Amino acid sequence: MIAIIDYGAGNLRSVQNAFSHLSAPAVVVRQPEDLQHAQKIVLPGVGAFGAAMKALREHGFDEAIRDRVSQGVPLLGICLGLQLLYQESDEIGVHEGLGLLPGRVVRFPKGADLKVPHIGWNTLQFQRDHPLLMGIPDNSHVYYVHSFYVDADVADDVLATTHYGRNFVAIAQREHVMGIQCHPEKSQAVGLRLLKNFMELEVSL
């Protein structure tokens, strides 16, 4: 069972519909104890980093996520969910993240030729191979809506980058912790393939 976390700050319906399209056994969970039955976990998210982390803590999901990850359960963060995997963000103040990956979340600098937020289609540049990328050609297009991006501390944690004024983390992975900055549910065949690859990852618990 794939658990999609509902903490009041996620694009749940579209993500669940995407998994339903793939005939995946994905369910929305609203209690941290429900993660104990999950074989995989999805952390979606839209909105502000600080508010999302506050909601995760208030619902008790922060420790539940860390606990299940420590047990080897694969975790996929989507959009803001990717950013929450990191140590901190400077969005409207400095806020502590889940700390599962080293790095921080920073804002795109405004410039004459760089519109913020970054909205629209852009390409993925693969940095290394991984089963999450299986069947997806390098330089495939995906859809973005975001004003902040991840500045990763460890280059080996980066599966793919995208260029928008600078290279930023598009897909991250360390062991069984993964995240994608794009909206897979809006990225057509490429987005569905990313979710399918996550769904089909082998789990050894």
Are the beta carbons of 7 and 52 closer than 8 angstroms?
A: yes
Which residue is listed with tokens 């191979």?
Answer: 129
Q: Which of 33, 175, 183, 200 is catalytic?
A: 183
Are the beta carbons of 143 and 191 closer than 8 angstroms?
A: yes
pLDDT of residue 190: 96
pLDDT of residue 204: 57
Burial of 60 (0-12, 13-18, 19+ CB in 10 A): middle
Confidence of residue 152 (pLDDT cuts 50, 70, 90): very high
Q: Containing domain of residue 41, as a range?
A: 2-199
* Within a domain: 11: yes
* Within a domain: 205: no
pLDDT of residue 85: 98
Q: Is 183 considered catalytic here?
A: yes
- 46-95 pLDDT, tens digit per residue, is 889 999 999 999 999 999 999 999 999 999 999 999 999 999 999 888 99
* Within a domain: 204: no
**Averaged over 15-32, what is the pLDDT?**
87
HEC readout, 16-44: HHHHHHCCCCEEEECCHHHHHHCCEEEEC
Q: Could you tell me the CATH number of the domain that includes residue 140? A: 3.40.50.880
Confidence of residue 19 (pLDDT cuts 50, 70, 90): confident
Q: How many folded domains does the chain comprise? A: 1
Q: Which of 33, 146, 185, 202 is catalytic?
A: 185
Report the percentage of the chain scoring pLDDT > 90: 78
Task: State whether the Cα torsion 52-83-63-95 is positive or negative.
Answer: negative
**Averaged over 102-130, what is the pLDDT?**
92
* Within a domain: 35: yes
Burial of 23 (0-12, 13-18, 19+ CB in 10 A): exposed
Three-state SS for 186? Answer: helix
**b/e burial code for range 119-151 (CB count within 10 A of at least 16 → b):** eeebebebbeeeebbeebeeebbbbbebebbbe
Q: With 60 as the cut, is the pLDDT of residue 157 above it?
A: yes
Q: Is 182 considered catalytic here?
A: no
Q: Which of 79, 91, 95, 182 is catalytic?
A: 79
Decide: pTM greater than 0.75.
Answer: yes
pLDDT of residue 20: 82
